Amino acid sequence: MNIKLVVVGKLKEKYFAAAIAEYQKRLSRFCKVKMIEVRDEKAPESLSSAEMEQVQAKEGDRILAKVSEREYVFALAINGTERTSEAFAQQIKDLTTYGHSDLTFIIGGSLGLAPAVLKRADDQLSFGKFTLPHQLMRVVLCEQIYRAFMINSNSPYHK
């Protein structure tokens, strides 16, 4: 099984990088994990709606260039579906059971994901209505993917 995270922007904080590396190491017994960073667009604080759409579209093009047709894609979106950890684990188990061995998770930039990315996604996943820094969201996502594998292997980790 292959898990890919396509994320906008560079991870600068060493402590987030260390946490992600730890989860990637833990996940290595279950799957291959790959983190792909795409360049973010400069986005000053005061952008018009049209400028915001342009930024999203440019980042979206970079994201979509990293996604193949056969991948099952989760877009992280605030308006996506919230799940429990157990339901997420079951979904991953079901997907792999029915032939989806390449799962891709997309985390957009500070302005969110372009409509084209949301359209390409097979599912939209929400971690709630909170706004979290994108770097921290990477850590949270990696932990939840690891938790899902631990739940599916009947490990006590998730309790």
What domains does the chain contain, in order, with CATH numbers? 2-158 (3.40.1280.10)
Q: What single DSSP character describes residue 124?
A: E
pLDDT band for position 97 (cuts 50, 70, 90): very high
Residues contacting residue 91 through CB under 8 Å, at least 6 positions apart? 83, 123
Q: Is 8 exposed, middle or buried (0-12, 13-18, 19+ CB in 10 A)?
A: buried
Q: What is the mean pLDDT of residues 115-139?
A: 95
CB atoms within 10 A of CB 130: 8
Helix, strand or coil, per DSSP, at residue 75: strand
Facing residues of 109 across strands?
Answer: 112
Please determine, for residue 72, whether its predicted confidence score (pLDDT) is greater than 90.
yes
Q: How many CB atoms lie within 10 A of CB 89?
A: 21
pLDDT score at 46: 87
Residue 158 has pLDDT above 90, yes or no: no
pLDDT (0 to 100) of residue 33: 97
Whole-prediction pTM: 0.96
Task: Quote the mean pLDDT of the chain.
Answer: 95
Q: What is the pLDDT of residues 28-49, one digit of tens each?
A: 999 999 999 999 998 888 899 9
pLDDT in the model for residue 37: 97
Q: How far are the Cα atoms of 52, 60, 61, 93, 139 from residue 145, in angstroms, in the given order?
A: 31, 23, 25, 11, 10
User: Which of 157, 134, 67 is closest to 104 using CA atoms?
Assistant: 67
Is residue 27 annotated as involved in ligand binding? no
Q: Is 76 annotated as a binding residue?
A: yes
